[in-house]
Amino acid sequence: MPFFVWAQFVTSFLLLLAFPPLEAAGVLQLMDKLAGTSFFLPSGLVVSGQQLAVAGGGSPLLWQHLFWFLAHPEVYVLILPAFGIVAEVIANNTRKPLWGYRLMVYAVTFLGFMSFIVWAHHMFMTGMGTVMSTFFQTTTMIISIPSVVILTALVISLWGASIRFTVPMLFALAFLPMFAIGGLTGLPLGLAPADIHLHDTLYVIGHFHYVVAPGTIFAMFAGIYYWFPKITGRKMSSLLGHIHFWPSFLFINGIFFPMLIQGMAGVQRRLYDGGASYSHAQGVLHWNVFMSISAWLLGLSQIAFIINLFWSIWKGKKVDSNPWGATTLEWAAAPSPPVAHGNFVEVPTVVRGPYDYSLPGAAQDFTPQHQEA
Amino acid sequence: MDIPYTVEARPDTGVFNAKLGVWLFLASEVMLFGALFSSYVLLRTGAAPGTWHHGREFLSVPLATLNTLILIASSVTMVMSWASLKLNNFKQYRVYMGLTILAGLGFMVVKAFEYGHKFEIGLFPKSNTFLAIYFTLTGLHGLHVLGGMIVNGYFWGPGAKLWRTQPERFTNRIEVAGLYWHFVDLVWIFLFPTLYLL
């Protein structure tokens, strides 16, 4: 199976098993609102100088536990498909098999499993206790290993390849260092002592956005540029793609990197005046201007993408069914755009793995999955 | 177009598709009830010493025991209804399925008496945290019983038409409906000791 399919497979399990606890939290919340219970309100809670008239005995921490039990696997729901897209694009544009495919599949499965036992690393500062913190910081350090395995395998896949710098490949290549920054900035947050300093600062915002903006969103762009010919039978403009990619790559760093600096200086994310009256923020607040300009320019550079997307739907260059010379079934065994109903004209039989690129002795540099030697 | 693997097992999963689907659904249900049971544990262990109310202060163990027996019996009749179809005995299926639905109804009636009595003496979900979690868990479980009764009712009545055209497929439907019913039964087996006895 292509790595993308594995990633989606694990993602579906995360969705299936992580959402019901949020549903449970919703049921409890509904009872709080309708039946007057107080699952999340402790006894003797004082609001605006008045003691709340509730039954009490509840626990606000319970809400956090239920919420993060969903929300931690949920971030892997965001990133695993991105891994999958990037893996497909890299294999296709390096014209060689993914390095360590089997290892990557094991890693993504392990990642999915581990994502269920790291949730309370979002809660180091809630007073849940040091034993809990120790457990969750340990599991958090463990879960970083499979992510690094996948990323390393993707980097090694580039080794010795004659890389085609197509637009999807540019986004996929940008994903690697950007996600690496996102991942590595997460390690200090996963360690309870370092988190005491960094918790709730802009550093967290910077970290999270490095994971999902140049991470997930770049992977999505890579996926859109890569599979666009599959959907429409036309290619997106390469020129507009470059006009989209380079500024995006530049300005997205312009927004989120200064956040790491501000956060390390201790600037919280929810200061009511944005930090103007806090002395510890004075040295780094001037970055706000830089970040705002970057944000506007990043927004502007998306115009190229929007124009490209709509223009290419009707006016893009027509291409044949397999313009990237891909091995996987959706390209090799089906027409682009797809026929009206059903995926394949003729159901193919898979006879080989998904990444048979540049086989020695083969007629072309890719051998489709359903093609006998 | 024929949908494949509705009757015979898929070679890679080893089960027919509907069965796989129900197992996945039940996995998510396990997570739902698991989260609520965990909440119960967390609230109870986190309560200030001496403030937690226990189920035996309010709840009727004899009625719950009766309900436990009713549900276990309904699981047996559910299996019998499926077995009857396997033995090609549709009349017997109708009897056993009818008994299953009646047992579900019996369970709900007993539960209604329990709830009614609580409300009568002024015990509501907001009275204390134990009653809050008690009403939430048993209420959600009751909704699941109701859902199961609706599905079983459909297969007893209008849904049974499928038996004449595709008997194997109908038998499989009863099997997966049964899986759900056993799950609902199992949840009660956990609810009974944790709420009424401990």
**Given a cut of 90, is residue A345 above it in pLDDT?**
no
Q: How far is A213 from chain B (nearest CA, A)?
A: 30
In a domain, A88, yes or no: yes
**Given a cut of 90, is residue A307 above it in pLDDT?**
yes
Per residue in A235-285, pLDDT tens? 999 999 999 999 999 999 999 999 999 999 999 998 888 888 899 899 999
Which segments within A201-326 are labelled E, that is strand?
234-235, 317-318
Q: Which residue of A lies nearest to B127 if distances are taken between CA atoms?
A: A55
* DSSP state string for A130-141: HHHHHHHHHHHH
In a domain, B2, yes or no: no
Least confident residue range of A71-75, A160-164, A331-335, B189-193 = A331-335
Helix, strand and coil in chain A, % to nearest 5: 65, 5, 30
Helix, strand and coil in chain B, % to nearest 5: 80, 0, 20
In a domain, B1, yes or no: no
Please report the pLDDT score of residue B68 as a whole number: 96
Exposure pattern of A205-226 as b/e (b: 16+ CB <10 Å)? Answer: bbbbbbbbbbbbbbbebbbbbb
| Rounded percentage of chain A residues whose pLDDT exceeds 70 | 99
**Mean pLDDT computed over A330-353:** 82
**Mean pLDDT computed over A315-329:** 90
Please report the pLDDT score of residue B47 as a whole number: 87
ipTM, interface predicted TM-score of the complex: 0.90
Between B97 and A44, where is the model more confident?
A: B97
Q: Which residue of A lies nearest to B129 if distances are taken between CA atoms?
A: A57
Per residue in B13-26, pLDDT tens? 899 999 999 999 99
In a domain, A338, yes or no: no
Contact A44/A51 with Cβ under 8 angstroms? yes
Please report the pLDDT score of residue A108 as a whole number: 96
Can you tell me which residue has the tokens 């027919």? B16
Instruction: Closest CB to B126: pick one of A20, A25, A35.
Output: A35
Q: CATH code at B98?
A: 1.20.120.80
**Mean pLDDT computed over B41-66:** 90
> B32: which chain A residues are within 8 Å (Cβ-Cβ)?
20-21, 23-24
Per residue in A86-144, pLDDT tens? 999 999 999 999 999 999 999 999 999 999 999 999 999 888 888 999 999 999 999 99
Q: Which residue of A lies nearest to B124 if distances are taken between CA atoms?
A: A35
**Given a cut of 60, is residue B1 above it in pLDDT?**
no
Can you tell me which residue has the tokens 């313009």? A323
Q: Which residue of A lies nearest to B130 if distances are taken between CA atoms?
A: A57
**Given a cut of 90, is residue A219 above it in pLDDT?**
yes
In a domain, A366, yes or no: no
SS3 A159: coil
In a domain, B11, yes or no: no
Contact A226/A324 with Cβ under 8 angstroms? yes
Please report the pLDDT score of residue A36 as a whole number: 87
Contacts 24+ apart (CB under 8 A), A53-60: A54/B126, A55/B126, A55/B127, A55/B128, A55/B129, A55/B132, A56/B129, A57/B43, A57/B47, A57/B51, A57/B52, A57/B128, A57/B129, A58/A32, A58/B43, A58/B129, A59/B42, A59/B43, A59/B46
Residue B13: half-sphere exposure toward Cβ, Cα within 13 Å: 14
In a domain, A271, yes or no: yes
A369 contacts: CB under 8 Å, gap ≥ 6: A327, A328, A329, A332, A333, A348, A350, A351, A352, A353, A354, A356
In a domain, A175, yes or no: yes
Instruction: Closest CB to B128: pick one of A20, A25, A57.
Output: A57
Interchain contact, A16 vs B39, CB within 8 Å: no
Enclosing domain of residue A86? 3-24+60-332
Interchain contact, B124 vs A35, CB within 8 Å: yes
Which tokens sit at A248? 């995006």
Between A11 and B55, where is the model more confident?
A: A11
Instruction: Closest CB to B36: pick one of A16, A17, A24.
Output: A24
Q: For the whole model, what pTM was predicted?
A: 0.90
Q: CATH code at A152?
A: 1.20.210.10
> A16: which chain B residues are within 8 Å (Cβ-Cβ)?
24, 27-28
In a domain, A35, yes or no: no
Please give the Cα distance from A159 to A94 (Å, whole number).
9
Residues of A with CB under 8 A from a CB of B: 16-21, 23-25, 27-28, 31, 35-39, 43, 54-59, 61-62, 65-66, 69
**Virtual CA dihedral for A263, A265, A271, A274, nearest 10 degrees?**
-90
Which tokens sit at A162? 């004659």
Please report the pLDDT score of residue B2 as a whole number: 67
> B135: which chain A residues are within 8 Å (Cβ-Cβ)?
31, 35, 37
Contact A199/A137 with Cβ under 8 angstroms? no
Please report the pLDDT score of residue B49 as a whole number: 86
Contact A81/A213 with Cβ under 8 angstroms? no
Please give the Cα distance from A17 to B33 (Å, whole number).
12
In a domain, A127, yes or no: yes
**Mean pLDDT computed over A144-155:** 95
Q: How many domains does chain B have?
A: 1
SS3 A327: coil
Please report the pLDDT score of residue B150 as a whole number: 97
**Confidence class of residue A54 from pLDDT cuts 50, 70 and 90?**
confident
Please report the pLDDT score of residue A341 as a whole number: 72
Instruction: Closest CB to B28: pick one of A16, A27, A59.
Output: A16
Q: Which residues lie across from A47 on neighbouring strands?
A: A50
Per residue in A164-193, pLDDT tens? 999 999 999 999 999 999 999 999 999 999
Enclosing domain of residue B120? 17-197
Please report the pLDDT score of residue B185 as a whole number: 95
Please report the pLDDT score of residue A50 as a whole number: 86
**Mean pLDDT computed over A338-343:** 74
Contact A367/A352 with Cβ under 8 angstroms? yes
**Confidence class of residue A153 from pLDDT cuts 50, 70 and 90?**
very high
- Mean of the per-residue pLDDT values for chain A? 92
Contact A5/A103 with Cβ under 8 angstroms? no
**Confidence class of residue B76 from pLDDT cuts 50, 70 and 90?**
very high
Q: How many domains does chain A have?
A: 1
Please report the pLDDT score of residue A80 as a whole number: 95
**Confidence class of residue A211 from pLDDT cuts 50, 70 and 90?**
very high
In a domain, B52, yes or no: yes
Per residue in A68-102, pLDDT tens? 999 999 999 999 999 999 999 999 999 999 999 99
In a domain, A362, yes or no: no
Please report the pLDDT score of residue A143 as a whole number: 93
